[in-house]
Structure 1
């Protein structure tokens, strides 16, 4: 499973927006393109999608720009990915609606895909934009005040408890 480049760019872009919005209030696409290295047409395309999904508010014209529609702590990685790629579904049988799977009627794995899909989506939903946008000092290997949320997620994925991670 791999995120599309657009979803990856949206995460990078939203992270940069979260770092700026507390300071400057509004951003413009050119500034965001310059800071992230994402081409301006791609930034503009993503602003449209993220705005349609309700993750950012966009204002046109002089003094316009965009800003996060809610606090970074209330926006998850899953929210950003779904804004760009649609619902997170690992297989077609997890998606509601019509499926084109030829083995669906005889598949013994199908009942488990909802659980697996829920776990993947839950892991992505458990990572906030605030934790993604925290600036970690490179020399400390990423440790910092916001690192604990990502470390806790990593420990859950690996099957460790938070206490084991902090010990």
Structure 2
């Protein structure tokens, strides 16, 4: 079974919570303790996730008395694949797909070596086509919420 780590799931939850107060430089900042309280995720875990997301440029820290964290861009422009890579590393089904040399006993005689590449590419493409906003839904993303509220009027 292919599964993402709990940290990746938590990263999406934290980003969705950050989106409630807006994204980008104009967005309000939220503290790690505040995010932990709002999401129900332990504070040390939230801090760890924020550090990973910050290293990937998905969130930014703001220093000072009113400091905290905010998104660097709106959720609809953040592919899920970027969050996965930020937290779990490169997306690869097997060690040989991610370029790991010497990580398999049968590497020299493997009949399917290199054949996983199209499968891996398809998974990357699919995950790049889903944004964090798609997962967060209208309640957590102002831009998505505004579009959703217009949908009934546009259908008429």
- TM-score between the two structures when normalised by the length of structure 1: 0.75
Match of 1:6 in 2: 7
Match of 2:57 in 1: 54
* Matching of residue 135 in structure 1 with residue 138 in structure 2: yes
Query: Structure 1 unaligned runs (5+)?
Result: 137-143, 147-167
2:108 equivalent among 82, 105, 108: 105
**Larger RCO (CA under 8 A, 6+ residues apart):** 2
Q: Is the 8 A contact 2:97 2:114 kept in 1?
A: no
Q: Is the 8 A contact 1:7 1:80 kept in 2?
A: yes
Query: Structure 2 unaligned runs (5+)?
Result: 140-146, 150-156
- TM-score between the two structures when normalised by the length of structure 2: 0.79
In terms of fraction of residues, the more helix-rich structure is 1
1:97: how far off?
A: 4.6
**Secondary structure, aligned partner of 2:38:** helix
Aligned pairs, number:
139
1:48 & 1:63 partners in 2: Cα distance?
18
